[in-house]
Amino acid sequence: MRILIVLVGRTIPGFNELADKLSRTFKCPVSLELIDFPLTRSFRSERKQYDAGAFLREMGRFSEPGTKTVFMVREDMFSTPLNFVFGLAAADSCVVATARLDPRFYGKVDDGKKAGALFKERLFKEMMHELGHTLGMPHCNDKKCVMAFSNSIADVDHKGAGFCKNCQKALKIEG
């Protein structure tokens, strides 16, 4: 297995360390790519959000066989019937929408390292979660497992960054 992380439009500070962490967790190569791609087709003006499903369908051409592709966007996304999503997976691809993972989205003043560390922690959890879905994992009932469903940013903050024992066993990943 190989993981390709595609940053759409803009880079994300400290991203290389997140890619390294994913590589160690999944024990596979992780590569990064930056593309400048207009998201206008998936924008829904009535909601002022991007449709995550439409985005993934449009980006399907960037996926490669045997590769799990994670698209990273800074925009706010939704997937009907949900008002918003932190991410969405379909087959071998997923998207992580970073807008609501950023403390500034909730009016928190960026106090430097603390806010940046929180953002990276949230981002890593959602990357792990969506990659888990691309590997066939469903949502987990263990609220501390990274595969737990997150209905709010508090849920993201509450769950751990790793798979519970049952999910590790299903994925054949050592803890």
95 beta partners: 71, 88
Q: What are the tokens at 103? A: 């403390």
Among residues 33, 64, 75, 130, the one annotated as catalytic is: 130
Angle separating helix axes 113-134 and 15-26, nearest 10 degrees: 40
**75 assigned to active site:** no
Contact between 38 and 46 (Cβ < 8 Å): no
Amino acid at 121: E
What are the strands of the beta sheet with 67-73, ordered from one edge? 30-35, 2-8, 67-73, 93-97, 87-90
Annotated active-site positions, please? 130
